[in-house]
A and B are shown apart, each in its own frame.
Chain A
Amino acid sequence: MSFFTEFRKLLSENIREYGMYIALFVIMAFFTVATNGLFLSPRNISNLINQTGYIAVLAVGMTLVIVIRHIDLSVGYLSGFLGALAAIAMADPRVIPNGLNLPAFVVIPIILFLGILAGMLTAFMVAQLGIPAFVATLAGWLAYRGALGLVTAGTGTIIISNEIFNALSNGFIPDISVASIETLIAVHKLTLLIGALAIALLIFGQVRDRRTKQSYNFEVLPMNMFILKLVFLSIIVGGITWILAGYNGLSWTVVIVLAVVIIYNFITTQTVLGRHIYAIGGNPEAAQLSGISVKKITYVVFGSMGMLSALCGIMYASRFKSATTTAGQLLELEAIAAAFIGGVSPAGGIGKVIGSLIGALVMGSLSSGMNLMGIDISVQYIVKALVLAAAVIFDVATRSRSK
């Protein structure tokens, strides 16, 4: 079989899995051409990632919620509300009446903990009282909207002056200084180093995985396709690293999002907890009879959603260096859209964390690209609608084909 036909075969067999990567690639390529390369400029990519970060974090949590056949509409305003609490806690009492002047490293854990509590409250209504998640979280949507209004009523927008806090969504990791090459290339060296390390780990992991699979006589990619995959992945990671290194290097947002995605990806694919979550999504009755506590898992999943909402709220407030009276508005729907674009099944049981990250990047790229092209915001919504619909149509079509 020639290289090309083998490539086509691989693509058509795995179109479901690779589809969204291809979509992201096509979208980015299109905007790069349409903006004469402006889209792919280091500054724009860096901005795009920082703007997508807080949605990606929400989308990761939402993935698990949808996998266990629920939904959470409350997360947008919850993150807005928790962001406002963070702003108040850090504010100077001379400026903001209830300000506590607490340092960021005290405030952040407290806010994350409050997020978990909020998620537990949702889980209590869903798992214990049996209220459908749509209704329970719609109530949460109303309540947190009101709560956000209350805490910002006297002050309006609360400006955040804590620099450590603001760096979370605007700052970059520090660089190492190597005097001898400082003058040669004006790039962010630690970022390059991390990128190189990531590529090495990636190749090492993939090769090891392939070996293990071979030892079980599982089907693996033919050698030339395997190398192609490695080259492709290395180019992507390397390319992004290079672009980012050319601006200010890795932002803290990238670090946070990657940490969240890596941890959640590990949990969903490698742990008992992950299996239990997907089992409940696939068939709750069978899961229950297999000794899995559906209630417990519901608490865990909504608790994690609450914690990630808090993280989103922190990143959002940090991004805008303030807590506004409408913070977090509609973020829940953006997260849900990102999850669906990323291949999460509305019927439950199917969906990957990494898919949702890609989904969030697709949404972010669309906004960023169309902004650069000067497209009217109303038109942007319609384009996003088409992309969302196309993603789900694609999902349904490829699924019915595989039957």
Chain B
Amino acid sequence: MNTPLLEMKNITKEFPGVKALNNVSFQVAYGEIHCLVGENGAGKSTLMKVLSGVYPHGTYSGEIHLGGKIQEFSGIRDSEKAGIAIIYQELALIPEMSVYENIYLGNEIKKGLQIDWNETIKQASAALEKVRLKVNPSTKVKDLGVGKQQLVEIAKALSRDVKLLILDEPTSALNEDDCENLFELLRGLKEHGVTCILISHKLREVIKIADSVTVLRDGQTICTLNAKKGEVSENALIKNMVGREIDNIYPSRIRLQSEKVVLEVKNWNAYDPNLGRAILKDVSFNIKKSEIVGFAGLMGSGRTELALSLFGNPDGYQIKGEMQVKGEKKHFSHPREAIDAGLAYVTEDRKGDGLILIQDIRQNITLANLREISNRGVINNNLEVKIANEYKKNLDIKTPSIEQKVVNLSGGNQQKVSLAKWLFVKPDILILDEPTRGIDVGAKFEIYTIMTRLVEEGMSIIMISSELPEILGMSDRVYIVSEGRVTGELPIESATQEKIMQLATN
């Protein structure tokens, strides 16, 4: 076989106290779609940062060969020049600028000292055509959906003659249709000689699209599997990622049949004055004691908005409708009131609106219920430490100390801190919004186990999830939401992926 496009040899990268990468070798052949998988903290992102020059030459040991030539990048600009482009999970576009301005940002086409806007628009249109995105290049990026924004990012990369395109969790914010489009596009790019590295947690996607897969675990290369040789399967991947076989990641539980309704919502309508449109239309549902109710639907179907509108309405929607908590009519005007009534909401976006990253685990866990550990407004530090340690132990938060800043934890452990914080308010109804997004298989299993324990102890859980296996594996009942409406309710016995997808796209 010819020399590979990219060869990373014996890469070792150390941070104070941790060996993030330990002698990692990684090869990508010309024109393939190569997936990089591994649990959180396995070293995927670090490896890509080494490759793209975020960690410059000299801060790691080992060699990078690109197209047969040894490369020593001292920054992102160098790797861009060599034809490497990275598209991160959080998109790096400027919302207030137009599509064409974004595509050529930092790479402006100039005529003398001026920017040649006509040429820019012309070339941007060509780049958009390559990614099969039909939008007016003058549209502002903020007016596009996430899926389209991602295509703009790819167009931006293509406009710079990219040879190696790296996508970090590209589908985590996309719905099924957008995912399908993206994959179609990646396959197309392959034919144009663009090689792709795809980092993903979604193993089904990996199986669908990968030509080969490299598995990292604990900073080491575990194996590289080849799809053509039939080596790529879900079991093989999971086994290599976690080093063990997980037969069933959804723990079995005793289903307590209770008819006691703890939350009843009737004809719930919400209008978002910022967006200037209705976001929830005539939503009605109920939650019974000790049950897990799944809310399935596509990204943007209104499930997070529903949760927020119930949980004290912090975004100021105009709401019409009726809500009863444990038989009592309620109207919350601040999250505090919702918490007092026995609700808790673990947000979808841990880093954005869930946790305070610069504070330590202890402070995060007690934040929503400082009342319980204080006397006349003065915090009892000893009690706080005791409680934080209890939750650390019960939820198995992996950290040397509760004094650790949350920003330093892995995604799975951050999610556990988030969960601990909301369990400490001792809710009756726990709303989990995408509880396992972006966390690895091992941590997922732990979260599911905790959920199981909680409902067995009498809590009711609303689980918003875009992952159908999770919905089917964990729920007692499923509501399907589409465009702000509840389009169906299925008991778990009769719910299937096909039925849910059909209702979700209804």
Interface residues of A (CB under 8 A from B): 212, 216, 218-219, 270-273, 275-276, 278-279, 282-283, 285-293, 349-350
Knowing A275-B367, A291-B336, A293-B336 are in contact, say whether A286-B354 is a contact too (CB < 8 A). Answer: yes
Residues on the A chain within 8 Å of B382, using CB: 212, 216
What separation, in Å, do the CA atoms of A275 and B371 have in the docked complex? 11
Chain B nearest Cβ from A262, distance in angstroms:
14
Task: Please tell me which one of the listed residues A216, A279, A350 contacts residue B385 in the complex, with CB atoms under 8 A apart.
Answer: A216
Of the A-B pairs whose beta carbons lie under 8 Å apart in the complex, a sample of 30, sorted by A's number, is A212-B381, A216-B389, A218-B401, A219-B401, A271-B378, A271-B379, A272-B371, A272-B378, A275-B370, A278-B359, A282-B357, A282-B359, A283-B353, A283-B356, A285-B353, A286-B355, A286-B367, A287-B356, A289-B314, A289-B347, A289-B353, A289-B354, A290-B335, A291-B334, A291-B335, A291-B336, A291-B340, A291-B368, A349-B356, A350-B358
Residues on the A chain within 8 Å of B112, using CB: none
Nearest to A267 among chain B residues (CB) is B377
Residues on the A chain within 8 Å of B339, using CB: 290-291
What separation, in Å, do the CA atoms of A276 and B368 have in the docked complex? 10
Task: Please tell me which one of the listed residues B356, B357, B378 contacts residue A270 in the complex, with CB atoms under 8 A apart.
Answer: B378
Q: Tell yes or no: B403 within 8 A of A by CB.
A: yes
| Contact indicator B335/A279 (Cβ below 8 Å) | no
Residues on the B chain within 8 Å of A275, using CB: 363, 366-367, 370, 379
What separation, in Å, do the CA atoms of A78 and B403 have in the docked complex? 40
Residues of B within 8 A of A (CB-CB), count? 36
Q: Tell yes or no: B311 within 8 A of A by CB.
A: yes
What separation, in Å, do the CA atoms of A218 and B381 have in the docked complex? 13
Nearest to B368 among chain A residues (CB) is A290
Residues on the B chain within 8 Å of A286, using CB: 347, 353-356, 367
| Contact indicator A279/B367 (Cβ below 8 Å) | yes
**Shortest beta-carbon contacts, A-B, top 5:** A285-B353, A282-B356, A291-B336, A290-B368, A272-B370
Residues on the B chain within 8 Å of A219, using CB: 401
Chain B nearest Cβ from A69, distance in angstroms:
12
What separation, in Å, do the CA atoms of A272 and B356 have in the docked complex? 16
Q: Tell yes or no: B17 within 8 A of A by CB.
A: no
Chain B nearest Cβ from A205, distance in angstroms:
13
Residues on the B chain within 8 Å of A278, using CB: 359, 363
What separation, in Å, do the CA atoms of A276 and B357 have in the docked complex? 15
Residues on the B chain within 8 Å of A271, using CB: 374, 377-379
Nearest to B351 among chain A residues (CB) is A283
| Contact indicator B401/A282 (Cβ below 8 Å) | no
Residues on the A chain within 8 Å of B334, using CB: 291, 293
Knowing A272-B371, A282-B357 are in contact, say whether A288-B379 is a contact too (CB < 8 A). Answer: no
What separation, in Å, do the CA atoms of A89 and B136 have in the docked complex? 67
Nearest to B373 among chain A residues (CB) is A272
Q: Tell yes or no: B276 within 8 A of A by CB.
A: no
Nearest to B352 among chain A residues (CB) is A285
What separation, in Å, do the CA atoms of A153 and B359 have in the docked complex? 50
Task: Please tell me which one of the listed residues A218, A270, A289, A350 contacts residue B379 in the complex, with CB atoms under 8 A apart.
Answer: A270
| Contact indicator A289/B311 (Cβ below 8 Å) | yes
Residues on the B chain within 8 Å of A285, using CB: 314, 352-353
What separation, in Å, do the CA atoms of A219 and B385 have in the docked complex? 14
Chain A nearest Cβ from B244, distance in angstroms:
32
| Contact indicator B345/A289 (Cβ below 8 Å) | yes
What separation, in Å, do the CA atoms of A275 and B403 have in the docked complex? 15
What separation, in Å, do the CA atoms of A216 and B379 have in the docked complex? 17
Q: Tell yes or no: B421 within 8 A of A by CB.
A: yes
| Contact indicator B403/A218 (Cβ below 8 Å) | yes
Residues on the A chain within 8 Å of B345, using CB: 289
What separation, in Å, do the CA atoms of A141 and B380 have in the docked complex? 40
Nearest to A401 among chain B residues (CB) is B16
Nearest to B356 among chain A residues (CB) is A282
Residues on the A chain within 8 Å of B352, using CB: 285
Residues on the A chain within 8 Å of B385, using CB: 216
Nearest to B350 among chain A residues (CB) is A286
Residues on the A chain within 8 Å of B347, using CB: 286, 289
Knowing A282-B358, A285-B353, A293-B336 are in contact, say whether A272-B377 is a contact too (CB < 8 A). Answer: yes
Q: Which of B366-406 contact A (CB under 8 A)?
A: 366-368, 370-371, 374, 377-379, 381-382, 385, 389, 401, 403
Task: Please tell me which one of the listed residues A218, A270, A349 contacts residue B358 in the complex, with CB atoms under 8 A apart.
Answer: A349
| Contact indicator A272/B374 (Cβ below 8 Å) | yes
| Contact indicator A287/B367 (Cβ below 8 Å) | yes
Chain B nearest Cβ from A271, distance in angstroms:
5
Chain A nearest Cβ from B93, distance in angstroms:
21
What separation, in Å, do the CA atoms of A290 and B358 have in the docked complex? 16
What separation, in Å, do the CA atoms of A185 and B401 have in the docked complex? 52
Chain B nearest Cβ from A231, distance in angstroms:
26
What separation, in Å, do the CA atoms of A271 and B378 have in the docked complex? 4
| Seed contacts A218-B403, A287-B367; 13 additional CB < 8 Å A-B pairs | A212-B382, A216-B385, A218-B401, A270-B379, A283-B356, A287-B356, A288-B335, A289-B347, A289-B353, A289-B354, A290-B367, A292-B336, A350-B358
Chain A nearest Cβ from B133, distance in angstroms:
31
Residues on the A chain within 8 Å of B311, using CB: 289
What separation, in Å, do the CA atoms of A218 and B367 have in the docked complex? 21
Residues on the A chain within 8 Å of B367, using CB: 275, 279, 286-287, 290, 292
- Annotate B251-267 by CB proximity to A: 1 below 8 A, 0 otherwise: 00000000000000000
Residues on the A chain within 8 Å of B401, using CB: 218-219
Residues on the A chain within 8 Å of B379, using CB: 270-272, 275
